[in-house]
A and B are shown apart, each in its own frame.
Chain A
Amino acid sequence: MKRLLEWQIATVTSIHQETPRAKTFTLQLPNWMEHKAGQHYDVRLTAPDGYQAQRSYSIASEPERSGEIDLTVERIQDGEVSTYMHDVLIVGDQIEVRGPIGGYFVWEAAMTDPVLLIAGGSGVVPLMAMIRHRAAAGSKTPARLLYSSRTPQDVIYSAELDRLQGSQNGLGIFLTYTRRQPTGWSGFARRIDVPMLREVAGPLGNSTQAYVCGPTRMVEAVADGLLQIGLPPNQIRTERFGPTGGI
């Protein structure tokens, strides 16, 4: 596994608008390498005078899809790389990337403990790679996703999550809307709190492996809450997303 990661020039083969602020970019890689769900790639942009900017973006696709990856990128208002990707990049363009990177916030289908995935906003991206990997590998490991969004239109992968919810494959999906709920909504309508964690995590049991990804304040609160409901710290993995996470 010890090797140097090299930059490579990927080709954009598809761009999909997920929400008003999030797009998924499918990149074809000349030197594709199987990743682990939860890992990320670095993206590097170079201006004609040599000026460069780099950012990290989580892989959304499952490792079973060879030769290409999906990166889902939220457009940050004052951003540099995310705004370029959203506003300039088109299908057929080339873009420099390096990866896969990261060895801790990862889940593999060979892991058999129940999995609790908790996302805030675009923090769902690396968790979606885990969900897709779980489905592609035919894993029966009990898994639950608790996903907090501001409004229904902010839910990334909404249609796919609906399909997975109904597919009876042992994945439970729980959404909470913190600002505006769909009409007739009877589910959670608040920020993730301890009673919500108890309700969603409880049935998974004590050996649950938790993955929490989102904005810092949300991640801090959820990680503290998971400790409160009795999950040991070494079963809680965290990753930060959002403007202050360096997107």
Chain B
Amino acid sequence: MASNFISRGFTGKRRQPEAAERVPPGQYITPDFPVLSAGPTPRTPLDHWSFTIEGLVGEAVKWSWEQFLQLPVRTFVVDIHCVTKWSKLDTQWEGVSIDTLFEHIDLDPKAMYVTAFCDGGYTTNVPLVDVINGQAFVAYQYDGKPLAAEHGGPARLVVPHLYFWKSAKWVRGLRLTEKDKPGFWESLGYNNHGDPWKEERYW
């Protein structure tokens, strides 16, 4: 059986044993910050940028870049896990908690799912319960500097407890829905939920 299989002559590198319990199964720690995306990097000028929350809300709300920067900002230090196997510990971001954004809307009780939509057409879906209560934020700074375009700048969603494709780069808004709708990678062979601790990588 595959579960008892041992690779002849393999011992492994186990670089940081003290961090082992923070690394989900099948992941390894990288000091780099790899870049992954399906197409070219979009570059939206900040004066054309906005962030919208729409769908099952009383009234859609939209912030310009200037307005978004006025929202209460927080520092988040989180571990991130990419489905391509790398994990990065203690990444530091500045941004706005989804809870803070939701204080500005009337959430329809029927809302169960969130679709993040982005410049470049990327989408990803997350259950509402996975983005509230301090679990997710919209980041615009990484490591004390404006978030670089190739890492999703000017702003990206960060949902650190799910595989990193859920942390949509170039995010422009959230759409609340009653029914779940698979996003880009979720329609192309990747798991609908994406919990790294359960190794929910693929269909």
- Among candidates B7, B39, B185, residue contacting A238 with C-beta atoms closer than 8 Å: B39
Interface with A: B28-36, B49-57, B94-102, B138-146, which one? B28-36
Task: Kindly state whether residue A2 has any CB partner on chain B within 8 Å.
Answer: yes
- Among candidates A101, A103, A224, A243, residue contacting B41 with C-beta atoms closer than 8 Å: A224
- Among candidates A47, A237, A246, residue contacting B30 with C-beta atoms closer than 8 Å: A246
Asked whether A238 lies within 8 Å of B28 as measured between CB atoms, the reply is no
Task: Kindly state whether residue A151 has any CB partner on chain B within 8 Å.
Answer: no
Residues of B within 8 A of A164 (CB): none
Task: Give the one of B9, B13, B39 with max A CB within 10 A.
Answer: B39
Residues of B within 8 A of A103 (CB): 187-189
In the bound assembly, the distance between CA atoms of A105 and B184 in angstroms comes to 13
- Count of interface residues, chain B, beta-carbon cutoff 8 Å: 41
Residues of B within 8 A of A53 (CB): 10, 12-13, 26, 28
- Are A88 and B203 also in contact (CB < 8 A) when A56-B85, A96-B5, A244-B30 are? no
Asked whether A238 lies within 8 Å of B38 as measured between CB atoms, the reply is yes
Asked whether A54 lies within 8 Å of B189 as measured between CB atoms, the reply is no
Asked whether A234 lies within 8 Å of B28 as measured between CB atoms, the reply is no
| Interface set, chain A 147-185, CB cutoff 8 A to B | none
Asked whether A45 lies within 8 Å of B188 as measured between CB atoms, the reply is no
- Are A88 and B9 also in contact (CB < 8 A) when A9-B2, A44-B26, A238-B37 are? yes
- Count of interface residues, chain A, beta-carbon cutoff 8 Å: 48
| Interface set, chain A 33-69, CB cutoff 8 A to B | 44-48, 51-56
Asked whether B5 lies within 8 Å of A220 as measured between CB atoms, the reply is no
Asked whether A246 lies within 8 Å of B2 as measured between CB atoms, the reply is no
Task: Kindly state whether residue B129 has any CB partner on chain A within 8 Å.
Answer: no
Asked whether A96 lies within 8 Å of B7 as measured between CB atoms, the reply is yes
Asked whether B84 lies within 8 Å of A246 as measured between CB atoms, the reply is yes
Asked whether A47 lies within 8 Å of B26 as measured between CB atoms, the reply is no
Task: Kindly state whether residue B11 has any CB partner on chain A within 8 Å.
Answer: yes
Asked whether B26 lies within 8 Å of A52 as measured between CB atoms, the reply is yes
Contact with A along B83-109 (1 / 0, CB 8 A): 011100000000000000000000000
Asked whether A80 lies within 8 Å of B28 as measured between CB atoms, the reply is yes
Pairs A–B under 8 Å by Cβ, sample size 18 = A4-B203, A6-B2, A46-B10, A51-B11, A53-B28, A54-B26, A96-B5, A103-B189, A105-B38, A233-B42, A233-B120, A237-B38, A237-B39, A244-B30, A246-B30, A246-B34, A246-B85, A246-B86
